[in-house]
Amino acid sequence: MVATSSPVHHERNRRIEEIKEIEKRFRATAEELKDLKDKNAESEELMKEVAADLRLMRELDTMELETSMEDDCSEGETVRWEGSDDGRTR
């Protein structure tokens, strides 16, 4: 005698396959999220490095401007830098 599967068993097996497929998609999505999280962390680190470089560039520009202004003024002249209340006399 050949065993035949009942409609209940067929439905149960179909549902098990659906669950396995959902689980597979879930794992793939979890892996994608992990990759995105890693890339986000890398991006944040790069943004911090760029911000630090920009701060250094601004400091250098300010130092160069001050040096240039000092070179341009004559002796005894008061030089005022933007954002500074005190004048510096050369």
Domain boundaries of the chain, sorted by first residue: 7-71
DSSP codes of every residue in the chain: ------HHHHHHHHHHHHHHHHHHHHHHHHHHHHHHHHHHHHHHHHHHHHHHHHHHHHHHHHHHHHHHHHHHSPTT-EE--TT-SS-EE-
Q: Considering the entire predicted model, what is its pTM?
A: 0.48
Task: Tell me what pLDDT residue 62 has.
Answer: 86
What pLDDT score does 77 carry? 59
Ordered per-residue pLDDT tens for the chain, 90 residues: 455 679 899 999 999 999 999 999 999 999 999 999 999 999 999 999 999 999 999 999 888 877 776 666 655 556 565 665 555 544
C-alpha distance from residue 78 to each of 23, 63, 82 (Å): 75, 17, 13
